[in-house]
Amino acid sequence: MFSNVLSKGKIGSVKLENRFVMPAMGSNHGTDDGRVGQKIIDYYVARAKGGFGLIITEFTCVDLPGKALPGQLLITSDDYIEGFKKLTDAVHETKSKIFLQIQHSGRQTNSYFTGMQPVAPSAIPCPVNKEIPRALTTEEVYEIIEKFGDAAVRAKKAGFDGVEIHGAHGYLPAQFLSGYSNKRTDEFGGDLVNRARFSTEIIKNIKQKCGDDFPVIFRISGEEKVHGGREIEEAVAIAKLLEAAGADAIHVSLGVYASMPWMVPPANVKAGFNIWAAAAVKKSVNVPVIAVGRINDPLLAETIIENEAADYVALGRAAIADPEFPNKVKENRINEISPCIGCLTRCNGEPGCDPNDKGVSCMVNPFTGHESTWVLKPAENAKKVVIVGGGPGGLECAWLSAKRGHEVILLEKSNRLGGQMIPAAVPPNKHEISRAIGYYITMCKKYGVDIRLNTEATVESVMTLEPDVVVLATGGVPLDCPVPTEKPVVNAIDVLDGKAFLGDNVLIVGGGMVGLETAEHVISQNRRATIIEMQAQVGSDLNPNIKYFLLKTLQEAGVEILTDTRVENITERTVACVNLQGAIDLEGFDTIVMAIGSVSYNPFYEDLKDKVEVHVIGDAKQVRKAIHAIEEGARLALEI
């Protein structure tokens, strides 16, 4: 079924085992001074062992004024070659190949990162970084071209199989390519040939210094998704110039910093949304094209190659979620793939349970980023482990504990596994959450977890099982309506779970993630929705990219959002509120939904703690996000 994506390929002179590419993604796993350490080596080697035909490292800066972030990898001098050589040697012990992505931020940085004013084609600030850059002189442009070439020479000395020029996402080559940011009148500005000259000269410089047999990939944004930015027609034309200059492959991405929600899209954006751009570029060039953009399903990847929309598929966050994605496809274990669900939590910089753990990881698979420190070894003493609660934290703890050799019994009072992930998967564009539940269930079954549904635990029933360890993963329950009410109200979880009837005009109290997604669910049923939020803004607990698309949907549907508004009481006819202007009465609502949060549900700990070793994880311990429940489940499984 997957013969196309598993077929061998070639970029320039480099032969690849398959069509799976791990693209460049910032990991924050390098050292503070921008060097390669063991942690980042382990991170990349795990993906190499997992079967990715090509690995492209995260962006690596060629010139200090172009540094994007503290801790970004650097290749500004020969001093960095030794560290990179350790990485390439380790990757080459597998069948994978590895390219270094070389980069300069241009205007998309700030002086407090670099200690100097940013530089750019023109003195036009990035709308996100906002600092006015200094326009490069013509001589300085040629100097930076040389620095790209010198960086490629260092990459070759370090054992890399090739390099990728980061000409996408609004970095310096992209700034030259686009009339959005390039207003020059010298040979590097004006028409397409001139705007592309910086990029084509970099390619030629690398080829001159490294040889024609050292492959160069150029990464480009098919569209910039900003007013006045470059669109696909120019990208297609530019691709021809890049190929003529010597590029061995074109990698088609999307966006700039000012269109970040499109650059790092959440589940609100459909899987494979950017394939069309790769297909458009492929029609104009004869070198291989790499597609990227929420490609997280093996059948989707296979179809892209089969239909000749692209020659290679880059699995970004899917590679973070499961380093063994290609191997599992090859072995037909696709149900065992830890899925990327587009949640943008750990992969986008949010720390885990440890606030100092800020490197890239994954909500569904918290072992990512801890490749050398979280090692799942067989238990020295097999124990009987009873887990109460079949939510994500309980399921994660269950299958990992069983894999280590423990006898695991999981008690779930309902007839379904998944806990609050079940209703979380209901709103539009959230269906991929159900893939995570399915993955956990698959792994529990594989390792022999004794799952007992429709089994409500009691202290007595738990102790009757004679456990060595009890894990309480009983989750949380929605908070009750906190104000006087004369009419029935429902909670958002019951609405999403199909347990509460909705009228045609719905008032939702609470503008956090649950409230906003409940509103999206309501309008998807052709009902009207209004949201009340006490704070000055809604969605304060949401990733900005998710918030962008969610609020855009609600706004287009005419959902009214009242901020700085507090409910005082509810009568049969009105909802009395107070806002910054004073008291207001809202009328005409058929249903009132509470989305004001949850409280821990943990009825067993006090009665069990003196009888048996007992641990509490997830919302049962403290109401937080799913990332905490899953990570706590994993950490505990490593310790039992």
CATH class of 384-478+600-639: alpha beta
Question: Does 171 participate in catalysis according to the annotation?
Answer: yes
Spatial contact of 595 and 492, defined as CB atoms under 8 Å apart: yes
Give the residue extent of every domain in the chain. 9-348, 384-478+600-639, 490-596
Residue 141: pLDDT band with limits 50, 70, 90: very high
Contacts of 338 (CB under 8 A, 6+ apart): 321, 322, 362, 364, 365, 439
Can you give the three-state secondary structure of 77-122, one letter per residue? CHHHHHHHHHHHHHHHCCCCEEEEEEECCCCCCCHHHHCCCCEECC
Mean pLDDT computed over 395-414: 98
Spatial contact of 209 and 152, defined as CB atoms under 8 Å apart: yes
Indicate the fold that domain 9-348 takes in CATH.
TIM Barrel (3.20.20)
What is the amino acid identity at position 168?
A
pLDDT the model gives residue 552: 97
Cα 488 to Cα 478: distance, rounded to the nearest angstrom? 15
Using one digit for the tens of pLDDT, what is the confidence trace for 587-600?
Answer: 999 999 999 999 99
**DSSP code, position 497:** T
Among 43, 80, 171, 439, the one annotated catalytic: 171
Alpha-carbon distances, residue 179 vs 119, 250, 363 (angstroms): 16, 21, 39
pLDDT the model gives residue 430: 95
User: What does the angle CA 233 – CA 237 – CA 242 come to, to the nearest 5 degrees?
Assistant: 140
Cα 506 to Cα 199: distance, rounded to the nearest angstrom? 54
Residue 535: pLDDT band with limits 50, 70, 90: very high
pLDDT the model gives residue 355: 86
Residue 356: pLDDT band with limits 50, 70, 90: confident
Structure tokens that stand for 250 in this block: 């074109």
Using one digit for the tens of pLDDT, what is the confidence trace for 178-232?
Answer: 999 999 999 999 999 999 999 999 999 999 999 999 999 999 999 999 999 999 9
Using one digit for the tens of pLDDT, what is the confidence trace for 43-84?
Answer: 999 999 999 999 999 999 999 999 999 999 999 999 999 999
Using one digit for the tens of pLDDT, what is the confidence trace for 299-353?
Answer: 999 999 999 999 999 999 999 999 999 999 999 999 999 999 999 999 987 888 8
Mean pLDDT computed over 544-550: 96
Using one digit for the tens of pLDDT, what is the confidence trace for 143-183?
Answer: 999 999 999 999 999 999 999 999 999 999 999 999 999 99
pLDDT the model gives residue 353: 87
Nearest to 49 by CA among 99, 95, 105, 102: 95
Mean pLDDT computed over 442-452: 98
Q: What is the mean pLDDT of the chain?
A: 96
Residue 354: pLDDT band with limits 50, 70, 90: confident
The CATH number given to 490-596 is 3.50.50.60
The rounded radius of gyration (Å) of the Cα atoms in the chain is: 27
Contacts of 349 (CB under 8 A, 6+ apart): 28, 358, 360
Cα 272 to Cα 505: distance, rounded to the nearest angstrom? 35
- Residue count (the chain): 640
Q: What percent of the chain has pLDDT over 70?
A: 100
Alpha-carbon distances, residue 618 vs 232, 539, 604 (angstroms): 45, 22, 15
Mean pLDDT computed over 389-405: 98
Using one digit for the tens of pLDDT, what is the confidence trace for 224-275?
Answer: 999 999 999 999 999 999 999 999 999 999 999 999 999 999 999 999 999 9
Q: Which residues of 553-567 are buried (b: 16+ CB within 10 A; e: fewer)?
A: bbeeeebebbeebeb
pLDDT the model gives residue 633: 98
Mean pLDDT computed over 604-631: 96
Containing 552, the helix (H) or strand (E) segment is helix 544-556
Alpha-carbon distances, residue 509 vs 40, 416, 424, 483 (angstroms): 44, 28, 17, 11
Using one digit for the tens of pLDDT, what is the confidence trace for 455-493?
Answer: 999 999 999 999 999 999 999 999 999 999 999 999 999
